[in-house]
Amino acid sequence: MSETNPYMMVGERLCMDFINTVSWRESAEKRRDWFTSYAKLVDWCIHAEVLTGQQAKALLIKAEEKPSEAGDVLKQAIEMREVMYRIFKSISKGTSPHPADLERFNESVSHFYQTLQVIHEKDHYTLKFKHTEKNLDTMLPPILQSAVDLLVSKKDLGRVKQCEGDPCGWLFFDASRNRSRRWCSMADCGNRAKARRFYQKEK
């Protein structure tokens, strides 16, 4: 991870990068959650281009005024992330998501999609969430929409994969032409696997 970008954005989809905000997801000892505070969630959203610096500043000021509300949003974001993780992990393994996870996901959809509206822009119409900058959870709808778009896309869903690096657990959208991607990052888990193979061969 570089100093200028402390977050590895390797998921190829906003929802995948959001899910990947836990390092060493499948390891009880090494697992580390990046969202340790509302400010950390906001910081990640700047890097993911979900929020502008100006929006982030306004949200952090409001979070200071309403710390318990900010804490609730953080909890909500983490819960949404974990539900998405379980759903997409199941899909990557070719199994059906747990009905309770789908139900929880749909609760988020029902909650946020109430603010969706059709906007007329020059020569076309687009679906947009009502601008809710005053809300501390304003970053969650675009992330949720990214997950919905992927879930309802028949042709793209088969490209959801889990990194083969153990115990990485990161998910990604395989954008390679022949669907041959195996690692979250060749420089990271890919190299580790290469080194392990080399070591075993030498042995």
Average pLDDT, the chain: 87
Instruction: Spell out the domain ranges in the chain.
Output: 14-202
Reference 129, options 147, 115, 110; nearest CA is: 115
pLDDT score of 160 more than 70: yes
Which CATH number is 14-202's, of 1.10.3300.10, 1.10.3720.10, 1.20.120.450, 3.30.230.20? Answer: 1.10.3300.10
Q: Given the DSSP bridges, would you call strands 124-129 and 160-162 parallel, antiparallel or unpaired?
A: unpaired
The confidence score (pLDDT) of residue 127 equals 81
Is residue 9 a contact partner of residue 184, using CB atoms and an 8 Å limit?
no
DSSP string of 81-102?
HHHHHHHHHHHHTT-PPPHHHH
At 166, the pLDDT band (50, 70, 90 cuts) reads: confident
Per-residue pLDDT, 6: 63
E strand intervals along the chain: 22-23, 32-33, 116-121, 124-129, 160-162, 171-173
Nearest-CA neighbor of 168 among 146, 189, 142? 189
What is the reported pTM? 0.87
pLDDT 10s digits, 56-85: 999 999 999 999 999 999 999 999 999 999
Tens-digit pLDDT profile for residues 34-59: 999 999 999 999 999 999 999 999 99
